[in-house]
Homo-oligomer: A and B are copies of this chain.
Amino acid sequence: MENYINQLRNYHLKATPQRIAITEALAMYGHLSIEQLYEVLKQKFNSLSLATIYKNINIMMENAFVSEVKLPEQKSVYELTKASHAHLQCKKCHNVWDIHLNLDDIIQNASKNSTFEIESANLVLSGLCENCRNEK
């Protein structure tokens, strides 16, 4: 909590209660959509406005405190910015997990096959999570 206040400040973001709550929610759940963030924070702030979520997520992305994860077949989710990693998306429950693959290898390999100067890689792996796989 104190921790989140300082983290926000490190990214030049005023530590308002709403922003602290967004940070807490993302730290706890890992990946949330705009609508999910709204539902979670709504518990704590009953006068919360969706516009506040949008404004905050936008400025948090501009300041690289939060990152957007674009996913096939579902709405984007947002996460606290971390070291480069890939994502696992469950096609059944739609939850998202981090997976720590070496994206640099992929970038280097791809660089051999192109004239691009590749700076970053965005990888989403889709399938069934352990839970959903066992359910059927």
Contact = CB atoms under 8 A, between A and B. Distances in A.
Interface of A: 68, 70-72, 86, 88, 90-91, 97, 99-101, 106-107, 109-110, 113-130, 133
A118 B70 contact: no
- What copy number does this chain have within its complex? 2
Contacts of A133: 117
Most buried by B among A86, A124, A125: A125
A85 to B, nearest CB: 11
B88 A116 contact: yes
A16 to B, nearest CB: 26
A61 to B, nearest CB: 10
Given A101-B109, A101-B110, A124 B122 contact: yes
Contact of A129 (B88, B101, B116): B116
6 A-B pairs closest in CB distance: A118-B127, A70-B70, A115-B130, A119-B127, A122-B124, A117-B128
Given A71-B70, A101-B110, A127 B120 contact: yes
